[in-house]
Amino acid sequence: MTAAADPVLDPVGTVVGLVIAADPALDQGTARQVAERAAGGRAKRRRLAAALASDPSVLATGRSPAPRAVGDLLLALRAAGAAGISPPRCAGCGREVTSMQRRGNHWYCSPCFGRPLACAACGNQRQVASRDRHGRPRCCQCPDQDTRDPRDVLTEVITTADPGLAADVVTAALEATVVKPAHLQKLAWALQESPALLTGGGAKAPFPMVLRLIGALCDAGATRIQRPPCPRCGRVVALSKLRDGLRVCRACCARANAVPCGRCGTVREPAARDERGRPVCPHCLSTDPANLERCARCGRRRPVSTRTSGGAVCPTCVPRKILACTICGQARSGMVSRITGQPWCRACARSWAPCSHCGQPSRLRAGTREMPLCGSCAAPGTEWKSCPGCGAGERLVAGACRRCHLHQQLRELLADPAAGRVRAGLQVLQQALAGIDRPEIALGWLRRPKVRALLTELAAGQRPLTHAALDDLPPSKTPDAPAQRAGRHRGAARAR
């Protein structure tokens, strides 16, 4: 592969071509192995190929600015014996860099990387050697002295919070979560200052090590030490993200980061950004023509669902598990229900029917085709969350039930931008869509970019709500899709 390869479609080929051009003595197979190992995933490979294609001189000079992937490649090539490739060189003094310490797009050696700060003890501008218990910088001559053994301090704080824990259990938990003595000291200072972190306030933990210790203590049998709930959704799950100074769960962080996709308009956490810096949602990223790959089974260029030893596999060709459905009794590709713990097929998972116990039309969750059961009747002991809008107990979407979420989406799309409310002429349309039997059908319809554009034009008065105006639209299923789909499902339910 030559340096003229496409950086998007064949990033590794682009990198190999540029490396061979800079060091002709290097074997092409070795260069490809190093590039594949150092470049990592698809996005990183493309960034690396684009950076080298725009400035191939970095291979000979080793000078930044350049992405980190370029520095990693230079180090890997030098380790593989590429004498014609320059090692990374410090942006400050020009000496050879053996590890990546970055500030912005530049890499530095250790002496040039550290910035001198005012020591909290002596006040002199010096290199930071450590941090004190309040997080302030200290120089090498003014460490924060604490003669106590941090293990003893932690054991005292933890056993005070939960007297039922033995000292050896606490010691084992500390050994499982803390490696460095300096981290042990930081942990002791943090818990001594805020013991409430152990009893439910862990969302305010200054570093994740506190949460790991709480988890280890709970696994060891602690009764008063509690895993902290997410401060946003209230669920007791892993708090892996930091948002506004608090530890939150991954789902709440994704909702907080959600923005309209620059291509389809769907409000989701962006998976990437395009060449113009616009956010791109995961669906648009995976279906982008540049990201399609040839399926190893059907040979078509499709989005990648999984990767096997034979190559990429598209969603259609992924092997499905064949299970005996407990609802219809047929052996089909399916999954295990999280409500009942029993296998069911995908057709039953999508079915709607009046519940044989409570009579309410709902998704089929258990029972049989003749005696269907909804989720609440199938698992009566389950604590369903209550919708803050209507009080219905079910799984919530964006903090509301599907019906209330549909009302919210319609208000946002049909509201006049100037007046901030739905015009009288559109209220009938709003009520018709909000009253559909199956709200998820309307929600799926509203996620389509053409539908959102059409409703936005109607709300702004750019298109009149008349049959003639709708007939002027390009031929599509968009305008009447919800009614048609709802009718088909009602007919199917009556046939069953």
Q: Please report whether residue 270 resides in a domain.
A: no
Above pLDDT 70, what percent of the chain?
90
Residue positions counted in the chain:
496
Could you read off the pLDDT of 205-219 as tens digits, one per residue?
999 999 999 999 999
Could you give the dihedral angle defined by the CA atoms of residues 52, 58, 64 and 66, in that order, rounded to the nearest 10 degrees?
10
pLDDT at 70: 93
Is 243 within a domain? no
Indicate the range of 24-33, 47-56, 465-474 predicted with least confidence: 465-474
pLDDT at 111 over 90: no
Query: Of the candidates 197, 226, 255, which is a domain's last residue?
Result: 226
143 part of a folded domain: no
pLDDT grade, residue 444 (50/70/90)?
Answer: confident
279-336: pLDDT as tens digits: 999 999 989 888 898 999 999 999 998 888 888 999 889 888 888 998 888 888 888 8
Residues 489, 409 within the same domain: yes
Q: Is the pLDDT of residue 374 over 70?
A: yes
65 or 450: whose pLDDT is higher? 65
Q: Please report the beta strands in 104-254, taking only residues with DSSP state E, as ranges in sequence order.
A: 106-108, 117-118, 125-126, 130-131, 137-138, 241-243, 246-248
Pick the more confident residue, 187 or 442.
187
17 and 103 within one domain: yes
Do 354 and 407 fall into the same domain? no
389 assigned to some structural domain: no
| Pair 48, 107 in one domain | yes
The region, left, alpha or beta by phi > 0 then psi within -120 to 50, assigned to residue 81 is: left
E strands present in 17-174: 101-103, 106-108, 117-118, 125-126, 130-131, 137-138
Same domain, 414 and 487: yes
Structural domain containing residue 157: 150-226
**How far, in Å, CA of 353 to CA of 364, rounded?**
6
**pLDDT the model gives residue 3:** 41
C-alpha span between 341 and 343 (Å, rounded): 7
Q: Are residues 107 and 21 in the same domain?
A: yes
Chain segment 208-256, per-residue pLDDT in tens = 999 999 999 999 999 999 999 999 888 888 999 999 999 999 989 998 9
Asked if the structure places residue 295 within a domain, the reply is no
Is the confidence at residue 12, as pLDDT, over 50?
yes
Residue 491, pLDDT score: 45
Hey, how many other C-beta atoms are within 10 angstroms of the C-beta on 183? 14
Residue 433 lies in a domain: yes
Q: Would you say residue 17 has pLDDT above 80?
A: yes
Region 352-375: mean pLDDT is 83
How confident is the model over 46-67, as a mean pLDDT? 91
Given this model, what pLDDT does residue 1 score? Answer: 42
DSSP strand E in 297-400: where? 301-302, 306-308, 311-313, 322-324, 331-336, 343-345, 352-354, 361-363, 366-367, 372-373
Both structure tokens of 444: 């799926």
**Do 16 and 97 belong to one domain?**
yes
For residue 382, the model assigns a pLDDT of 57
Q: How many CB atoms lie within 10 A of CB 125?
A: 10
What's residue 368's pLDDT? 85
Contacts of residue 450, Cβ cutoff 8 Å, sequence gap at least 6: 476, 478
Please check whether residue 394 is in contact with residue 387, taking contact to mean a CB–CB distance below 8 angstroms.
Answer: yes
Arithmetic mean of pLDDT over the chain: 85
96 lies in some domain: yes
Q: SS3 of 492, please?
A: helix
Model confidence pLDDT, tens digit, residues 138-166: 998 999 888 899 999 999 999 999 999 99
Tokens 């409430």, located at residue: 196
* 331 found inside a domain: yes
Q: Do 41 and 108 share a domain, yes or no?
A: yes
245 in helix, strand or coil? coil
Same domain flag for 155 and 222: yes
Choose one of 82, 112, 142: the last residue of a domain: 112
Task: Determine the Cα–Cα distance for residues 13 and 48; give it in Å rounded to an integer.
Answer: 11
Are 367 and 411 members of one domain? no
Q: Does residue 343 register a pLDDT over 60?
A: yes
H-type helices in 354-423, by residue range?
A: 375-378, 402-414
Question: How many domains would you assign to the chain?
Answer: 4
Please identify, among 166, 197, 226, the residue that sits at the C-terminal boundary of a domain. 226
